[in-house]
Chains A and B, each alone.
Chain A
Amino acid sequence: MIEYLLLLLGESIMIFGTLGILRFPDVYTRLHAATKCDTGGAMSILIALAIASEASLLIKLKFLVLAFLIALINPMVSHAIARGAYKYGIKPKVVVDMYAWDNP
């Protein structure tokens, strides 16, 4: 029962993340939507698979290790993309930009 709820949650998070990628104005706000796709969607689908699959306990633990690795790698990748885009010269559409005040 609970695995269907988790699968539904993951699917809906994927759909809203895609909607966010299509509708948000610039790179940085789109990165928010893309990373939420990854953490929320993929991790809840993996936890649902770990509950539903009829395998031994160590194989279920490997699903949890995969979810942990996604949670570990995802912030690093989003930070690298955001900082690389800023250093390349893409201006963010923001109300206040304190990073540009300190690095003119």
Chain B
Amino acid sequence: MSRIPFYLRERLDEIRQRILFETYEAQKLPKWEQVVLTWIALFSFWIVISGNTQSENLFIGGIATLVISLFMYEMLTEDIRQTGHIVEKILYISLFVIPQYLFIMAFRLIESNFKVAKHAILMDINPGIIKIKTDLHSDTGITILANSITLTPGTLTLDVDKKLGETYLYVHWIDVETLNREVAGEKIKGDIEAWLKKIFW
């Protein structure tokens, strides 16, 4: 790679970016599915926040959230990868993915609290800033992964670096065990990334 002339390398980079863009465009959801997913999310939020279940309240909320989701359908669902039918996808996300995520993150949260309490008592800290690689590319997926890393024990995401086709995360780790990038990535990310890749691009 280093012996290729400069103009050829630039051209190769351009082609690689083009391939990435084309695969991303081919995997996008159609528009009405985006509108339906946004409407379901906004309407359930409306029911919980407004707090009464009379029929006229539900009717007004449904109309208002439908109008909002017709305009803002790209914000939530732009990065969701296309797999299967929409009903299948809604059932999969609401019955399988979200409870699994909440279950994993609840136990990681409790573990992280005990770990930081142990570090505060014994003061056996060994901090460092580590760079790890992820396989995700979309903005929403990287955001959820970085926030989950911050919630898991002993780690804090400092910055995200996006280069061509590859994404790196800088993670402040309170107790550095290894400097190897793959082993550190396995230890920090765990199994969150594996099923985040099923939904997001």
Contact = CB atoms under 8 A, between A and B. Distances in A.
Do A and B come together as binding partners? yes
Interface of A: 12-13, 16-17, 19-20, 23-25, 28-29, 31-33, 35-36, 39-40, 43, 58-59, 61-62, 65, 71-72, 74-76, 78-79, 82-83, 86, 92-100, 102
Contacts of A94: 127-129, 172
B161 A102 contact: yes
Contacts of B140: none
Given A32-B174, A82-B158, A82-B172, 13 more contacts: A16-B120, A16-B121, A28-B156, A33-B120, A36-B117, A65-B48, A79-B156, A92-B129, A93-B127, A94-B129, A95-B127, A95-B128, A99-B170
B58 interface: no
Interface of B: 48-49, 51-53, 105, 109-110, 112-113, 116-117, 119-121, 123, 125-131, 146-147, 150-151, 154, 156-159, 161, 170, 172, 174, 176, 179
Contacts of B117: 12-13, 16-17, 20, 36
Contacts of B52: 58
A20 B119 contact: yes
Given A31-B156, A59-B51, A82-B172, A95 B110 contact: no
A40 B120 contact: no
A19 B156 contact: no
Contacts of A98: 129-131, 170
Contact of A83 (B48, B110, B154, B159): B159
**Most chain A Cβ neighbours within 10 Å, of B51, B109, B128, B129:** B129
A32 B156 contact: yes
A100 B172 CA distance: 12
In the A-B complex, list the 10 residue pairs whose CB atoms are closest, starting with the nearest: A20-B120, A75-B150, A16-B117, A40-B113, A75-B147, A96-B128, A98-B131, A58-B51, A36-B116, A94-B128
A72 B148 CA distance: 10
Contact of A99 (B119, B123, B131): B131
B114 to A, nearest CB: 9
7 contacts: A12-B117, A29-B125, A39-B113, A39-B151, A78-B150, A79-B157, A98-B130
A24 B122 CA distance: 11
Nearest to B117: A16
Contacts of B49: 62, 65
